[in-house]
Amino acid sequence: MSEINSITLKKPDDWHVHLRDGDMLKRVLPYTSKDFARAIIMPNLVPPVCTTAEAMAYKQRILSALPNGHNFTPLMVVYLTEDTQPDDLEQGYKSGAIQAVKLYPAGATTNSESGVKDFGKVHHVFERMAQIGMPLLVHGEVVDADIDIFDREAVFIDKVLEPIVQKFPALKVVMEHITTKDAADYIRSKDANLAATITPHHLMINRNAMLVGGIKPHYYCLPIVKRESHRLALVVAAVSGDKRFFLGTDSAPHSDEAKLQACGCAGVFNAPNAIICCATLFEQQNALNKLEGFLSINGPTYYGLPVNEAEITLVKTDKALNLAAEYKQLDGALTVFDPLTPLFWRIKE
């Protein structure tokens, strides 16, 4: 079999990204808007984006920061609180202003303090969402102090997610940035209402990258990276062709100043190389024929949106990407995810 050196795909979408706001938005948006046609925009700003009106205001700030020539559509999400109004969600969803609602257990990740503490208080919201077909996006971790951080996802499935799925079987749920074999197996055990996003970093590194030979803060993210057996289970899910799994980069930029301190921020900035990381991984698994599904087809199919008509071409080069040289314009203030394996793929300009 001859080596594949070029592959053309429908233009990918990112089904989970943090664009931040203000100056950081202007700095990082071009890396997403250049390579992706659409993206699901996380609402955990300070203060969070909790209503359709706030989502529309945020969307305008994103569009105002969009570089000339970039054809990019931000897909807006509302942050679920115990005060969320179902009528506002329904009006926003039916008008196309918002695409989904995000559930953060309070305290689970960056800027999640306004999240849900008592899930019973939002059941009426889930009921309305199930009626109108609006997806619920979940950060799948419990935050109980007595639960080990490496077990948060598995416990969330049992204690939180399964009761929701049982009570609201028609509710569409995306378990975002899954990190464990437990989550991959759980998704496969359910019907098409349940899906999951997988990040490039959880596909390419395990917790050794963060902890062996000294602590590496740029690999610290939430949900935290797990052991190798879990990474391998995610790889199997991603390359399987199962339509319930698709890319959500969870690109979550923080300045190096915020990362490199005694209590550093959680987040990996992978927007610049997310697609070529995936191409590298799928090639390693002899699954380049499944790459378009994971990057470009499964996500819009789940969300009920058309697959992009535009295409991109990936080409393989003889020279590996030099992260330091390629992104020197970031001046070290933002560090791009290093997958610890050479990247030979490029997106053809």
Known catalytic residues?
A: 250
* Integer CA distances (angstroms), 267 to 10, 156, 293, 309, in order: 28, 20, 26, 31
**Spatial strand order in the sheet of 6-10:** 6-10, 311-316, 345-347
- Measuring CA to CA, which residue among 137, 248, 244, 245 is closest to residue 200? 248
Q: Which residues contact 173 (CB under 8 A, 6 or more apart)?
A: 135, 136, 137, 138, 161, 164, 165, 193, 194, 195
Structure letter (DSSP) for residue 217: G
- Measuring CA to CA, which residue among 21, 78, 26, 83 is closest to residue 55? 78
Strands 100-103 and 73-79: parallel
- Measuring CA to CA, which residue among 248, 265, 247 is closest to residue 256? 265
- How many angstroms separate the CA atoms of 90 and 186, rounded? 29
- How many angstroms separate the CA atoms of 334 and 268, rounded? 10
Greatest extent of the chain over all pairs of C-alpha atoms, in Å: 58
- How many angstroms separate the CA atoms of 276 and 266, rounded? 23
